[in-house]
Amino acid sequence: MNSIAPGLFGTPMIKSMDQKVQDALIQMVEAPRRMGEMDEFAHTCAFLAENAYMNGRVIRLDAATVMQAK
């Protein structure tokens, strides 16, 4: 069994936030400095479904995001 640990994606919930909040979140993303797109998440799901040899993994799909401590 595999899983995906997603980072910041342009979901309706995130896009409903104030633009200043979105910009602050995007600044925590390393590269590329933007929100993930749903087709990128879907591509990762398809890869995991198609690759029978991949097992027991958590794939970070987060553009090396590091959330800042508060």
Cα–Cα dist 16/21, whole Å: 10
The per-residue pLDDT for 68 is: 76
pTM of the model: 0.84
Q: Side chain identity at 45, as an amino acid letter?
A: C
Q: Which two tokens stand for residue 4?
A: 């995906």
Q: How many C-beta atoms lie closer than 10 Å to residue 22's C-beta?
A: 16
Q: Where are the domains of the chain?
A: 3-61
Q: Which two tokens stand for residue 20?
A: 């200043």
What is the average pLDDT value for the chain, to the nearest integer? 94
The per-residue pLDDT for 69 is: 77
Cα–Cα dist 9/26, whole Å: 10
Full DSSP string of 16-51: TS-HHHHHHHHTT--SS-S-B-HHHHHHHHHHHHH-
Is the pLDDT reported for residue 27 higher than 80?
Answer: yes
Is the pLDDT reported for residue 2 higher than 90?
Answer: yes
Q: pLDDT for 35-44, tens place per residue?
A: 999 999 999 9
Mean pLDDT, range 21-42, rounded to an integer: 95
